[in-house]
């Protein structure tokens, strides 16, 4: 098989790459990786640095030459011009893991978020549809919006409630486009939706993640804080935080991309209670000058400290909709049949992920 994987240097994409090399190495004839150039390194140098890192699996490190022989790195700039790059090579599976994660609710951010997610995917799909056998899209388990209750894997026939931000809305719109475009081209479409990504749980080192996002940003905000101010944090006691280890999500994706499964939510069967989760995070970063409230706090209600004002003007804008979400759970019956999630204590896992991030001072992995 031939595979084209976008986002291979990203948080999830890098783990998908590692899992593909571990689980499907003998089946892969060629693996195309479109990668952006950086000022200090070429796309090829970035991929090599990742393959040689201590975070690469033992299999990759032991068989580096063979691994490199199957990988063809492409400058990201040529991604939208597939014919000259592929030289008539048929792509068996196009795995689109690249995405623009931005949880902003600001109206002036909407155009960019939709352009980088929906419009970019539209361009890719239209350009590659005649050249591929299947299109696999990595979406988000939250594309259904702030929907309570039990969520099935089939979002196609679900009318989402209010999306919490433009990112969720763009991901949902992209899913709708792909389903319709797949029917138009008679091309199989698979939509896989990971939940919030946390540190590794199955691979070494445990708790590693290449980029600190979402709940990590909450932890980082208070870890880096030097103010003595007190802050009220808005959160609803019935809400929950669903975190799935990144390596687990990647292994599931690698296990199902070549199956007939059309939609799959890759989530933890249980959620971390939001109040206990917040308290565990703040205790781990040694911030205790806070209280929790179910009341909305914003410009109209006023702020009780400069720290509180700063929080609600920055990450609080993005995270409060999740800290106050309707309680929900996902049906993981199919997921557990594919790859049972490791059994571990959710609160201990959350604490350990933050401790790991603290040890590395919340520095993102550069490759």
DSSP 1-20: -EEEEE-TTSHHHHHHHHHH
Selection from 215, 252, 232 nearest residue 336 by Cα: 252
- Nearest CA among 178, 95, 142 for reference residue 325: 142
pLDDT of residue 282: 98
164 close to 104: Cβ distance less than 8 angstroms: no
pLDDT digits (tens, 9 = 90+) for 194-205: 999 999 999 999
Burial class (CB in 10 A: 0-12, 13-18, 19+), 319: buried
Given a cut of 70, the residues of the chain with pLDDT beneath it are none
Length reported for the chain: 367
The answer to whether 223 and 176 have CB atoms below 8 angstroms apart is no
CA distances to 86, 174, 194, 341 from 120, rounded to whole Å, are: 19, 10, 20, 32
At residue 86, the pLDDT reads 82
- Give 170's DSSP letter: H
Helix (H) or strand (E) holding 196: strand 196-198
pLDDT at res. 181: 98
Name 15's Cβ contacts closer than 8 Å, sequence gap at least 6.
200, 246, 247, 249, 250
């Amino acid at each position: 098989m031939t595979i084209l994987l976008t986002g291979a240097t990203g948080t999830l994409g890098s783990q998908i790459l590692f899992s593909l090399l571990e689980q499907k190495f003998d089946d892969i004839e060629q693996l195309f990786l479109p990668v952006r150039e950086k000022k200090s390194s070429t796309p090829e140098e970035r991929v090599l640095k990742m393959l040689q890192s201590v975070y690469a699996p033992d299999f990759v490190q032991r068989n580096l030459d063979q691994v490199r022989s199957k990988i063809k790195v492409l400058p990201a700039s040529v991604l939208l011009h597939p014919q000259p790059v592929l030289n008539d090579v048929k792509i068996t599976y196009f795995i689109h893991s690249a995405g623009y994660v931005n949880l902003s609710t600001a109206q002036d951010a909407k155009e960019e978020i939709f352009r980088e997610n929906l419009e970019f995917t539209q361009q890719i799909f239209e350009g590659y549809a005649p050249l591929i056998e299947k299109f696999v899209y990595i979406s988000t388990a939250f594309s259904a919006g702030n929907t309570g209750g039990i969520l099935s894997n089939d979002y196609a026939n679900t009318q989402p409630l209010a999306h919490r931000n433009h990112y969720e809305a763009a991901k949902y719109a992209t899913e709708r486009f792909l389903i319709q475009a797949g029917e138009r081209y008679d091309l199989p479409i698979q939509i896989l939706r990971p939940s919030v990504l946390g540190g590794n749980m199955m691979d070494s080192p445990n708790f590693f993640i290449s980029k600190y996002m979402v709940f990590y940003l909450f932890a980082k905000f208070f870890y880096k804080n030097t103010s003595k101010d007190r802050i009220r944090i808005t959160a609803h006691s019935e809400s929950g935080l669903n975190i799935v280890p990144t390596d687990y999500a990647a292994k599931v994706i690698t296990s199902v991309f070549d199956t007939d499964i059309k939609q799959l939510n890759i989530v933890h069967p249980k959620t971390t209670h939001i109040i206990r989760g917040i308290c565990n995070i703040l205790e781990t970063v040694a911030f205790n000058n806070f209280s929790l409230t179910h009341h909305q706090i914003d410009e109209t209600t006023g702020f009780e400290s400069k720290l509180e004002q700063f929080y609600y003007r920055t990450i609080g804008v993005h995270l409060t909709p999740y800290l106050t979400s309707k309680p929900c759970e996902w049906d993981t019956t199919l997921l557990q049949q594919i790859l049972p999630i490791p059994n571990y204590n959710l609160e201990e896992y959350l604490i350990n992920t933050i401790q790991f991030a603290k040890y590395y001072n919340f520095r993102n992995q550069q490759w």
